[in-house]
């Protein structure tokens, strides 16, 4: 059983969450110096607006990040030792008083987590290709006046303390939570080519005419990469609850915070999906594994191991006890959901034929 909650409030004060009780943080905060977020930052610190009106972009950049620093400090309090933090962030390009420049959000966040004593791990470039016909900025075909077009964002990865150790029953849960060999090769690549998602829901705060959600595939990968079943995952900037939705599918607990009550209600609505819809994500994952097996040569197949739960082949011994529990019940609560899972064994590979 897992629990999932959306809390309305500022994530710089998450006092309802016990110290050290969160195993993983997966989030995408407001991006400083992206105009759609100006009002949100100004609401929290009017000096941000003064800096923008005064044409001091770097001062506005610094003040916006000081607001985010309050959340990162609180995240540090609630995160367990050896826990991970995964932050999706994009750099900003903006013209202020006729000066066009880059505002390096990812570098500023890395600096903050280094100051807090975190280990900075290799990051991921999430490539978001654009089909816009006139996406290039500057002087067109003439040199010394055009600018590189950004089509990627960063997924920063930090670890608090050293490696996490698993003992006793925890080791069995970790083994059951393993990912497939071909998933490891794709997920732990430094380049993810994943299209973005629609951004249609509006909030009540000024400037939030649209949300800035990432696609489900992003948090679903990260949750499986950096946590085990039964862990608690926090998203301090919950938006439409996409991280919580990924946790419902992945058999992890989740807590989401959003400062905007209207967005929080939209998150609960977005997460309110049927068992069959969420299980389809699991089924798709298993089908992709079977497709991978079909592409192996007879010689490669002869060197495979056998998964004890699904009775299909896997590439490594570490995959032999993988079992992805399907949801069997989702119950709504006042502020979220409770999910129950089917713990039955022995689904055959024929159950997932493509």
SS3 19: coil
- What would the mean pLDDT of 82-108 be, rounded to a whole number? 95
Least confident of 124-138, 229-243, 254-268, 273-287: 124-138
pLDDT, one tens digit per residue, over 24-59 is 999 999 999 999 999 999 999 999 999 999 999 999
> Can you give the pTM of this predicted structure?
0.90
The answer on 34 and 137 residing in a single domain is yes
pLDDT, one tens digit per residue, over 302-327 is 999 999 999 999 999 999 999 999 99
CATH number at residue 124: 3.40.50.150
Last residue of a domain, one of 242, 275, 308: 275
SS3 274: coil
- Find out whether 232 and 22 touch, Cβ atoms under 8 Å: yes
Last residue of a domain, one of 230, 257, 275: 275
Could you list the residue range(s) of the whole structural domain that residue 219 is in? Answer: 2-275
Q: In what order do the strands lie in the sheet with 326-332?
A: 191-193, 119-127, 152-159, 79-89, 22-27, 232-235, 253-258, 2-8, 336-342, 326-332
In this prediction, residue 256 carries a pLDDT of 97
Provide the token pair at 239: 């938006």
What Cα–Cα distance (Å) separates residue 115 from each residue in 19, 162, 335?
20, 16, 35
pLDDT, one tens digit per residue, over 188-197 is 999 999 987 6
Provide the token pair at 12: 């710089």
Please count the structural domains in the chain. Answer: 2
In this prediction, residue 198 carries a pLDDT of 55
Q: 148 pLDDT band (50/70/90 cuts)?
A: confident
Count of beta carbons in the 10 Å neighbourhood of residue 58: 12
In this prediction, residue 146 carries a pLDDT of 76
For the chain, the distance separating the N- and C-terminal CA atoms, rounded to the nearest angstrom, is: 30
What Cα–Cα distance (Å) separates residue 87 from each residue in 155, 181, 202, 214, 250?
5, 25, 22, 11, 19
CA distance 54 to 32: 17
- What would the mean pLDDT of 3-10 be, rounded to a whole number? 96
CA distance 348 to 354: 13
Instruction: Judge whether residue 182 has pLDDT over 80.
Output: yes
The answer on 12 and 154 residing in a single domain is yes
In this prediction, residue 128 carries a pLDDT of 81
Last residue of a domain, one of 275, 310, 340: 275
In this prediction, residue 102 carries a pLDDT of 95
Angle at 213 between CA 220 and CA 64, to 5 degrees: 115
The answer on 212 and 122 residing in a single domain is yes
Count of beta carbons in the 10 Å neighbourhood of residue 153: 22
Instruction: Judge whether residue 241 has pLDDT over 90.
Output: yes
């Amino acid at each position: 059983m897992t629990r999932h909650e959306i809390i309305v409030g500022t994530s710089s004060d998450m006092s309802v969450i016990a110290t050290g009780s969160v195993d993983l943080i997966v989030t995408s905060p407001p991006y400083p110096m992206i105009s759609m977020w100006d009002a949100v930052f100004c609401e929290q610190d009017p000096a941000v607006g003064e800096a923008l009106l005064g044409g001091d972009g770097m001062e506005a950049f610094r003040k916006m990040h000081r607001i985010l620093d309050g959340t990162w400090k609180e995240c540090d309090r609630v995160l367990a030792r050896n826990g991970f933090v995964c932050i999706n962030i994009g750099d900003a390009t903006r013209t202020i008083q006729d000066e066009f420049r880059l505002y390096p959000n990812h570098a500023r966040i890395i600096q903050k987590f280094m100051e807090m004593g975190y280990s900075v791990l290799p990051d991921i470039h999430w490539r978001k290709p654009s089909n816009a016909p006139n996406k290039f900025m500057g002087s067109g075909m003439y040199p010394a006046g055009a600018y590189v077009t950004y089509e990627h964002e960063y997924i920063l990865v930090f670890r608090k303390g050293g490696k996490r150790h698993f003992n006793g029953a925890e080791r069995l849960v970790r083994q059951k939570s393993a990912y497939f060999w071909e998933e490891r090769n794709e997920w732990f690549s430094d380049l993810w080519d994943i299209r973005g998602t629609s951004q249609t829901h509006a909030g009540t705060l000024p400037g939030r005419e649209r949300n800035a959600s990432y696609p489900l595939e992003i948090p679903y990968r990260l949750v499986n990469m950096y946590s085990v079943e039964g862990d608690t995952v926090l998203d301090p900037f919950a938006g439409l609850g996409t991280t919580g939705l990924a946790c419902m599918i992945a058999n992890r607990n989740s807590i989401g915070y959003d400062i905007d009550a209207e967005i929080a209600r939209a998150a609960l609505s977005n997460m309110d999906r049927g068992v069959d819809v969420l299980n389809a994500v699991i089924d798709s994952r298993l089908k992709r594994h079977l497709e991978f097996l079909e592409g192996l040569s007879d010689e490669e197949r002869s060197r495979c191991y056998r998964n004890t739960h699904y009775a299909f082949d896997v590439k490594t011994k570490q995959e032999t006890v993988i079992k992805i529990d399907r949801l069997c019940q989702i119950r709504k609560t006042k502020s979220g959901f409770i999910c129950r899972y089917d713990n039955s064994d022995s689904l055959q590979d024929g159950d997932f034929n493509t």
